[in-house]
Structure 1
Amino acid sequence: MKVTVYTDGGSRGNPGVAGSGSVVYSEAGETLAEIAYVVGQKSSNNVAEYHGLLRGLEAARDLGATEVDVYMDSKLVVEQMSGRWKIKHPDMQELALAARALAGGFTSVTYTWVPRAKNKKADELSNVAMDAAAAGADPGIVGAAPATPKDFSPASLSDAPRTRFILLRHGQTQHSVEKVYSGSSDPALTEAGRQQAERAARALALLGPVDAIVSSPQARARETAEVCARELGVAEVSGNDGFREVDFGAFEGLTRDECVERYGEEFGAWEASISVAPPGGESLAALHRRVTRARLKLQEAHAGKTVLVVTHVTPIKSVLRQALGVGGEVFRHVFLDLAGVSVVDFYGDFGVVRCVNDVAHLR
């Protein structure tokens, strides 16, 4: 199997907080793996770039690849790994040896330089990792489990405060009734949607104190959040653009059948890959990076607290994916009802899914 790996790394301060990003694609262009990796609190750009390469090669190995084409915007690493430039720095010598050992397990590995503009996904992932490093995360994959997950229990991570995210999907809108894609548009709740919000709010009151309420800026989420705030006695709802719904672009306001009829090829490509965006819209992979950044910042601001996040289907699936440490299949294989409740705890970077799509309050 042949794969393509795009990698990047960066340091804020050089040396400073550092992280790397790696993306693995199939020959057909399907995203097979995305890795955001915290390198450390005081590392250089070049060291971070090597870590991006290592994580990408490791992912390719774990996927069973036999041939790998690596693309990086680091001329230094590309030339050194190609054997055309010498490696003088001891840290990079060690990292290069590790990369060559990994590369030796493949039938072939090529290294190609690309401009930064063509390496945006890996760059975004490296920024996710640097955000996590700046928040104090230890070196490792963002959202990954500890080395011995079988021994995990909340008590064993007593040094990492539990931050609980209660994730509530908004109530019904007219778009929900019509079963059309509703992302960037801003419909209000229907009367049924307001009733769903009220029932969800009463159910949430039974879960215990909520320290803060954060909402997508879109009207349907804000209205639902305000109902919850009144019931829970929380004075303020904070808007957070990171939790807005995915932008469906040209598919906005259309049913699935209409999308197939009008945009057959583009729609098929979008359904087949989370890295493909609708015409004029946003890919699920891009949304996942956006929501990951928002979640990390929210967790830093409310460490050890309980936060109610009122949002939409795909941002909730993104948080579930972060907690589970799995790939993009979550977006295709998890169903979330209107006004459904999911609960996720984070202990540092370790996520625990407590419940998914609880709708008992609607029955």
Structure 2
Amino acid sequence: MTVIGLIRHGSTAWNKEGRIQGHTDNPLDEEGLLQAAAIAERLSGEEWDYIYSSDLLRARQTAEVIAAKLGIPVAGLLQGIREMDGGQLEGTTEQERVARWGKDWRSMELGLESSESGKLRGARTIEEIALRHPGKRVLIVSHGAILRSSLSGLVPGLDVSQLLKNTSITRIVKDKDTWTCELYNCVQHMDS
């Protein structure tokens, strides 16, 4: 069995402002660094063999905090688990989107990456990592939308309607050719 721990990055200023980040390369804010330290502390009580990250700064910073605590290097920065492209919406708040494009902005073609594209890209990348490290325990630090899309491709029928919280961990297991989800969107490390 191969175990994959999927972690959403820590918080950024844009998260707090409700701005769509997409491919915009924002750093963690102070709270995001504290969240990264909290998930790192939680994971230090477990065995993990590898850690990978999206190539975007907010995920990479989160992965580096975890890697330092676990004493394992970041094995790779991968575009395949980069957040979904936000197109013209990147950097905007809901209020700004309504002002610019009207209340029906969701139905407009604004350059957003489709859910299907994200599902295929993310699931393929996670499958490749699992094939590279069979029987190992691997952490992947990424982003909310791409992780939820990827999960819908890997674990059909899994309810991914709940948005992933910053530094939440979702644990999936591959046994032969089948993925199952053991844990979804867990942030118990933020309670302490």
Under TM normalisation by the shorter chain, which class is it?
over 0.9
1:251 alignment partner AA? L
Q: What is the alpha-carbon distance in structure 2 between the residues aligned to residue 346 and residue 281 of structure 1?
A: 30
1:338 alignment partner AA? N
Q: Does 1:188 align with 2:55?
A: no
| 1:154-233 equivalences in 2 (<5 Å) | 162-206=1-45, 208-233=46-71
Question: What secondary structure, in the 3-state scheme, does the structure 1 residue paired with 2:23 have?
Answer: coil
Given that 1:226 and 1:237 are in contact with CA atoms closer than 8 Å, whether structure 2 keeps it comes out as: no
Question: What secondary structure, in the 3-state scheme, does the structure 2 residue paired with 1:353 have?
Answer: strand
Runs (5+) with no aligned partner, structure 2:
none
Q: Once the two structures are aligned, what percentage of the paired residues are identical?
A: 32
Give the match for residue 348 of structure 1.
Answer: 176
1:204 alignment partner AA? L
Q: 2:123 aligns with which of 292, 299, 322?
A: 292
Q: 2:164 aligns with which of 324, 336, 341?
A: 336
Q: What is the alpha-carbon distance in structure 1 between the residues aligned to residue 103 and residue 31 of structure 2?
A: 36
Question: What secondary structure, in the 3-state scheme, does the structure 2 residue paired with 1:168 have?
Answer: strand
Q: CA deviation at 1:265?
A: 7.0
Q: 2:102 aligns with which of 257, 264, 269?
A: 264
TM-score of the aligned structures, taking structure 1 as reference length: 0.50
Q: What is the alpha-carbon distance in structure 1 between the residues aligned to residue 62 and residue 42 of structure 2?
A: 13
Q: 1:283 aligns with which of 114, 125, 131?
A: 114
Question: What secondary structure, in the 3-state scheme, does the structure 1 residue paired with 2:184 have?
Answer: strand
How many residues align? The count is 191
Runs (5+) with no aligned partner, structure 1:
1-161, 271-277
TM-score of the aligned structures, taking structure 2 as reference length: 0.92
Which of the pair has the greater relative contact order for Cα pairs under 8 Å at 6+ separation? Answer: 2
Q: Does 1:245 align with 2:83?
A: yes
Q: CA deviation at 1:266?
A: 6.2
Q: What is the alpha-carbon distance in structure 2 between the residues aligned to residue 266 and residue 287 of structure 1?
A: 23
RMSD: 1.8
Q: CA deviation at 1:346?
A: 1.2
| 1:8-19 equivalences in 2 (<5 Å) | none
Given that 1:164 and 1:306 are in contact with CA atoms closer than 8 Å, whether structure 2 keeps it comes out as: yes
Report runs of 4+ in structure 1 exceeding 2 Å deviation: 263-268
User: Greater shift after overlay, 315-324 or 188-197?
Assistant: 315-324
1:59-88 deviations in Å (ceiling 9; x for gaps): xxxxxxxxxxxxxxxxxxxxxxxxxxxxxx
Q: What is the alpha-carbon distance in structure 2 between the residues aligned to residue 307 and residue 289 of structure 1?
A: 20
Given that 1:203 and 1:361 are in contact with CA atoms closer than 8 Å, whether structure 2 keeps it comes out as: yes
Q: What is the alpha-carbon distance in structure 1 between the residues aligned to residue 74 and residue 60 of structure 2?
A: 11
Q: CA deviation at 1:256?
A: 1.9
Given that 2:3 and 2:171 are in contact with CA atoms closer than 8 Å, whether structure 1 keeps it comes out as: yes
Given that 2:11 and 2:29 are in contact with CA atoms closer than 8 Å, whether structure 1 keeps it comes out as: yes
Q: Does 1:362 align with 2:166?
A: no
Q: CA deviation at 1:257?
A: 2.7
